[in-house]
Structure 1
Amino acid sequence: VRLSVHPNNISVSQFSVTLVLEAHNVPELSAGVNCTFENLAEMNGLVEGNRIKCSSPAEKEMPRIIVDKGDHQIVQLYLKSKETGLAFANTSFVFYNCSVHKSCLSCVSSPYQCHWCKYRHDCTHDPRTCSFQEGRVKKPEGCPQLLPAERILVPVNVVKPITLRAKNLPQPQSGQRGYECLLTIQGNEHRVPALRFNSSSVQCQNTSYFYDGMERAVFLWS
């Protein structure tokens, strides 16, 4: 018995999606079949020749995908005879969770239909939920990022701006906060207003810093 299903993966944020299964070399199905997702859910299957239509699990039955287990979970989808109650065919089915990705590069590098909303810093299977159409990212080359730079030296207690090279920095939209730099110096966080010159350059505004000896700072944008 051969069994295939289309689609063969859906997001954990999609519920009761119609799935079409194609079965080959199967026994007589006139008595009816049920579709079973392991121990998650079981529902009636609509037989149309060698095709069976089933619904994916409802919201309350959807598996919870744990962050440390990755962004997907593989379960077995079984066809069960209503006459005997026994499974006679099965195939693998994938539930994926885009929201476990916390960076643009991680999100769009997923093998599943994940999109990055760069104005919300959020990974989703549905790009329509992004705040602005121009804020949708699907490919790594579209991700906002700071580019590697030569070592930047900042003297103690000297007021100085810090200019950073970047890529794809979005223009803040109406009602959104601007940019800021978050510097971690000797374990303490310092937030400094930043000015976006264009999509490839941002500057942490004039500020002085105090630290003992050589200190390394980490720059983030928000």
Structure 2
Amino acid sequence: MTNVRLTIRTLPELPYGAKYRCVFGSAEPIDAEVTEFGLSCPTPEIHKRPSIPPKMDHVLVPLSVRSSETNKDSSPETSPITTAASIDFMGNALGLSGPNPTHLSNHGFAYCPQFKKRDVILLPNNVLKEIVFEVKNLPHPQPGHTGFQCIIVIEGATMLVPARVDGKNIIVCDKTTYSYEANEGNTASVRVVWNRIHHVDSINVTLYK
């Protein structure tokens, strides 16, 4: 069975016991798995898929996501059943990264959380340093969430650094000492998340001695 990967930013938390479900056309809803990139949905069994018309090599099926709590669909996206779909959640609204059949005003990548500037960031080796990001469309964690964190990968080693909100749109990774073994400059990746699993944005930074 093929899995459809849905890339979703700032996936809203559901109440305890509730699940996200994927609905392919008129097929029965299928429980989705929450992943670090959004959702993963198993496709319907072969006998539950629509027939492919004569002289065609595929069929398009409306794909929507619903909560088991409300049992109501988010805005659907038409996607080939054999390929991955891509959607974006912004708060409690669904914006499609492809066609916008429902003409949502907050449609598309521009409304998702992201770094406002992508300037070169330099981090000195073995020096206590904050990393500061200005963020557009900054999400607001709900009560019970763990807030923001910075996930930093240097030479294959991963660090989870607490982060805080400064003002309305600034994320600050707490002061931390970063080090690497190579003799020359090195590159590290920094990913900002909230509630540990919801992606805000990522960028590469330069370490130097």
TM-score under structure 2 length normalisation: 0.49
| Higher helix proportion | 1
The structure whose RCO (Cα within 8 Å, separation 6+) is larger is 2
Q: Please identify the structure whose Cα radius of gyration is greater.
A: 1
| Higher strand proportion | 2
TM-score under structure 1 length normalisation: 0.46
